[in-house]
Amino acid sequence: MSAQNSSAANLVLASGSAVRATLLRQAGIPFDVQNSQVDEDAIKERFADSNIDDLAIKLAAAKAVAVSTERPDAMVIGADQILSCEGARFDKPRDMAEARTNLKFFHGRTHRLHSGVVLAKSGAIIWHHSAHADLTMRAFSDGFLETYLATVGDKVLTSVGCYQLEGPGIQLFENISGDYFTILGLPLLPLLDELRRRKVVSQ
């Protein structure tokens, strides 16, 4: 799948995330998309005791390495994001009931998004970066929550936090501290800096 008109596809995004692809596309970066077949649950279980920032990097690295082994000609971007709140770790909700439960837990609390991004080449990690952002949800009513879920629908299941800031999800919050791109799951500025340094994109 080509995400941009690119005759020499030397950059590959190892992710099915439409948001990450959109960020790269809007930045004017030519790239291809190739999903990895990595078992994320197995990695999370294996490294359950890891620092959460480190776990985000491990997940991103597994994706990048898997795809770069298949595409040794390309530089591969792997990225992942984990949410933590008051000592608990959260994954994408499996269904609307779990999304509702998670949002009720997050409401009135501050949670942290941990985002990791990795570059791999020929099956080896050549660069990595992690960043986090803190987001505080307001104490919204049950009525607002139900309206929000009805408005957003199944899209709520595509995000670890059950929201997209670029949509109605922004109404869930009273305070946000951190880089916008990190919140979206791809620390874009350090990634672009490294791609320029490696002459993958124009300086």
Tens digit of each residue's pLDDT (9 = 90 or more) over 159-202: 999 999 989 999 999 999 999 999 999 999 999 999 999 988 88
For tokens 């190739």, name the residue.
34
pLDDT in tens, 63-104: 999 999 999 999 999 999 999 999 899 989 999 999 999 999
Alpha-carbon torsion (33, 38, 39, 45), positive or negative = negative
Burial track 87-98 (b if 16+ CB lie within 10 A, e otherwise) = eeebebbeebeb
Could you say which of 73, 80, 154, 193 is catalytic? 80
Whole-number Å distance between alpha carbons of 188 and 120: 16
Whole-number Å distance between alpha carbons of 144 and 135: 19
What's the pLDDT at 6?
A: 40
Query: What's the pTM value of the predicted model, to 2 decimals?
Result: 0.89
The enclosing H or E element of 12 equals: strand 11-13
Q: Specify the pairing of strand 32-33 against strand 11-13.
A: parallel
pLDDT in tens, 39-56: 888 888 887 777 888 999
Contacts of 49-53 with C-beta under 8 Å, sequence gap 24+, read: 52/82, 52/84, 52/89, 52/112, 52/114, 53/114, 53/116, 53/130, 53/132
The enclosing H or E element of 159 equals: none
Q: What distance lies between CA 140 and its chain's CA centroid?
A: 25
Q: Which tokens belong to 109? A: 């609390």
What residues contact residue 108 under an 8 Å CB cut-off, 6+ apart? 137, 138, 139
Tell me phi and psi for residue 60, to 5 degrees. -65, -40
Catalytic annotation present for 179: no
Tell me phi and psi for residue 104, to 5 degrees. -65, -35
